[in-house]
Protein backbone atom coordinates (compact mmCIF):
# COMPACT_ATOMS: atom_id res chain seq x y z
CA UNK A 1 0.00 0.00 0.00
CA UNK A 2 1.45 3.31 -1.02
CA UNK A 3 0.23 6.90 -0.81
CA UNK A 4 1.72 9.77 -2.71
CA UNK A 5 1.57 13.11 -0.94
CA UNK A 6 1.86 15.75 -3.65
CA UNK A 7 2.31 19.40 -2.75
CA UNK A 8 1.99 22.28 -5.18
CA UNK A 9 4.79 24.11 -3.36
CA UNK A 10 7.24 23.55 -0.54
CA UNK A 11 5.26 26.19 1.36
CA UNK A 12 2.60 23.47 1.80
CA UNK A 13 5.00 21.20 3.70
CA UNK A 14 3.46 22.02 7.11
CA UNK A 15 0.22 20.43 5.84
CA UNK A 16 2.06 17.54 4.20
CA UNK A 17 3.73 16.80 7.53
CA UNK A 18 0.31 16.38 9.16
CA UNK A 19 -0.62 13.87 6.44
CA UNK A 20 2.60 11.89 6.76
CA UNK A 21 2.37 11.81 10.56
CA UNK A 22 -0.98 10.02 10.24
CA UNK A 23 0.33 7.66 7.56
CA UNK A 24 3.30 6.78 9.76
CA UNK A 25 1.01 6.18 12.73
CA UNK A 26 -0.84 3.57 10.66
CA UNK A 27 2.28 2.11 9.06
CA UNK A 28 1.36 3.20 5.53
CA UNK A 29 4.19 3.60 3.03
CA UNK A 30 4.29 6.97 1.32
CA UNK A 31 6.30 9.19 -0.93
CA UNK A 32 6.41 12.98 -1.11
CA UNK A 33 6.46 15.02 -4.31
CA UNK A 34 6.42 18.74 -5.02
CA UNK A 35 4.71 19.31 -8.35
CA UNK A 36 2.98 22.51 -9.37
CA UNK A 37 0.04 22.11 -11.74
CA UNK A 38 0.92 25.53 -13.16
CA UNK A 39 4.71 25.68 -13.03
CA UNK A 40 5.31 22.01 -13.94
CA UNK A 41 2.22 20.90 -15.89
CA UNK A 42 4.13 18.33 -17.94
CA UNK A 43 5.60 16.80 -14.78
CA UNK A 44 2.13 16.72 -13.19
CA UNK A 45 0.78 14.93 -16.25
CA UNK A 46 3.64 12.42 -16.28
CA UNK A 47 3.19 11.74 -12.56
CA UNK A 48 -0.57 11.17 -12.93
CA UNK A 49 -0.20 8.99 -16.02
CA UNK A 50 2.26 6.71 -14.21
CA UNK A 51 0.85 6.74 -10.66
CA UNK A 52 -1.01 3.43 -10.91
CA UNK A 53 1.88 1.72 -12.69
CA UNK A 54 4.22 2.99 -9.96
CA UNK A 55 2.15 1.34 -7.22
CA UNK A 56 0.39 4.45 -5.94
CA UNK A 57 -3.01 3.53 -4.47
CA UNK A 58 -4.12 6.93 -3.15
CA UNK A 59 -2.94 10.46 -3.94
CA UNK A 60 -3.21 13.29 -1.42
CA UNK A 61 -2.81 16.60 -3.27
CA UNK A 62 -2.18 19.82 -1.35
CA UNK A 63 -2.40 23.21 -3.04
CA UNK A 64 -3.42 26.77 -2.38
CA UNK A 65 -4.83 29.75 -4.26
CA UNK A 66 -5.97 28.45 -7.68
CA UNK A 67 -5.40 24.95 -6.24
CA UNK A 68 -5.77 23.04 -9.48
CA UNK A 69 -3.34 20.26 -8.52
CA UNK A 70 -5.87 17.72 -7.22
CA UNK A 71 -8.21 18.26 -10.17
CA UNK A 72 -5.44 18.01 -12.76
CA UNK A 73 -4.20 14.74 -11.26
CA UNK A 74 -7.75 13.35 -10.91
CA UNK A 75 -8.45 14.22 -14.53
CA UNK A 76 -5.63 11.93 -15.65
CA UNK A 77 -5.25 9.06 -13.17
CA UNK A 78 -7.73 6.36 -12.11
CA UNK A 79 -6.17 6.44 -8.62
CA UNK A 80 -8.37 8.09 -5.92
CA UNK A 81 -7.35 11.69 -5.24
CA UNK A 82 -7.89 13.53 -1.96
CA UNK A 83 -7.58 17.29 -2.21
CA UNK A 84 -6.43 19.43 0.69
CA UNK A 85 -6.98 23.14 0.06
CA UNK A 86 -4.21 25.22 1.60
CA UNK A 87 -4.93 28.47 3.40
CA UNK A 88 -3.79 31.32 1.21
CA UNK A 89 -3.02 34.94 1.90
CA UNK A 90 -5.68 36.38 -0.35
CA UNK A 91 -8.99 34.80 0.67
CA UNK A 92 -8.05 32.90 3.81
CA UNK A 93 -8.21 29.61 1.90
CA UNK A 94 -11.74 29.99 0.54
CA UNK A 95 -10.32 30.38 -2.97
CA UNK A 96 -8.39 27.13 -2.53
CA UNK A 97 -11.40 25.29 -1.12
CA UNK A 98 -13.64 26.29 -4.01
CA UNK A 99 -10.97 25.33 -6.54
CA UNK A 100 -10.59 21.86 -5.05
CA UNK A 101 -14.22 21.05 -4.33
CA UNK A 102 -15.88 22.38 -7.53
CA UNK A 103 -14.95 19.53 -9.86
CA UNK A 104 -16.89 18.74 -13.01
CA UNK A 105 -19.00 15.59 -13.28
CA UNK A 106 -16.80 12.58 -13.99
CA UNK A 107 -13.69 13.93 -12.26
CA UNK A 108 -14.20 13.37 -8.53
CA UNK A 109 -11.84 14.69 -5.89
CA UNK A 110 -12.50 13.89 -2.24
CA UNK A 111 -11.97 17.16 -0.40
CA UNK A 112 -11.18 17.80 3.26
CA UNK A 113 -11.07 21.07 5.21
CA UNK A 114 -8.71 23.95 4.54
CA UNK A 115 -5.29 22.90 5.90
CA UNK A 116 -6.91 19.56 6.89
CA UNK A 117 -3.79 17.44 6.76
CA UNK A 118 -4.85 15.04 9.50
CA UNK A 119 -8.18 14.30 7.84
CA UNK A 120 -6.47 13.92 4.47
CA UNK A 121 -4.22 11.26 5.97
CA UNK A 122 -7.10 9.55 7.75
CA UNK A 123 -9.21 9.47 4.60
CA UNK A 124 -6.30 7.89 2.72
CA UNK A 125 -6.09 5.23 5.44
CA UNK A 126 -9.86 4.60 5.22
CA UNK A 127 -9.69 4.22 1.42
CA UNK A 128 -6.81 1.76 1.73
CA UNK A 129 -8.62 -0.14 4.50
CA UNK A 130 -11.15 -1.38 1.95
CA UNK A 131 -8.35 -3.52 0.51
CA UNK A 132 -6.18 -4.05 3.60
CA UNK A 133 -8.03 -5.59 6.60
CA UNK A 134 -5.16 -4.83 8.99
CA UNK A 135 -5.65 -1.12 8.30
CA UNK A 136 -9.38 -1.41 8.95
CA UNK A 137 -8.59 -2.98 12.31
CA UNK A 138 -6.11 -0.19 13.17
CA UNK A 139 -8.61 2.44 12.07
CA UNK A 140 -11.34 0.99 14.27
CA UNK A 141 -8.92 1.06 17.21
CA UNK A 142 -8.00 4.67 16.38
CA UNK A 143 -11.71 5.64 16.45
CA UNK A 144 -12.22 3.77 19.71
CA UNK A 145 -9.32 5.60 21.36
CA UNK A 146 -10.53 8.92 19.98
CA UNK A 147 -13.95 8.42 21.54
CA UNK A 148 -12.37 8.00 24.96
| Model confidence pLDDT, tens digit, residues 36-64 | 999 999 999 999 999 999 999 999 999 99
Give the pLDDT band (50/70/90) at residue 89. confident
pTM to 2 decimals? 0.96
What's the number of domains the chain is made of?
A: 1
Expressed as residue numbers, the domain containing 104 is 2-147
Residue 21 burial (CB count, 10 A): 12
Q: What is the pLDDT of residues 26-41, one digit of tens each?
A: 999 999 999 999 999 9
Question: For position 44, which CATH number holds?
Answer: 3.40.50.1970
For the sheet with 58-64, list strands across it.
Answer: 29-34, 2-7, 58-64, 81-86, 110-111
* pLDDT of 24 above 80: yes
Amino acid sequence: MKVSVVMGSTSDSHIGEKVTNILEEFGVEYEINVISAHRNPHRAMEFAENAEKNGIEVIVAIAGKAAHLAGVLAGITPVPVIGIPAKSSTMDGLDSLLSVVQMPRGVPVATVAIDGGENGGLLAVQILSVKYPELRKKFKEYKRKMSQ
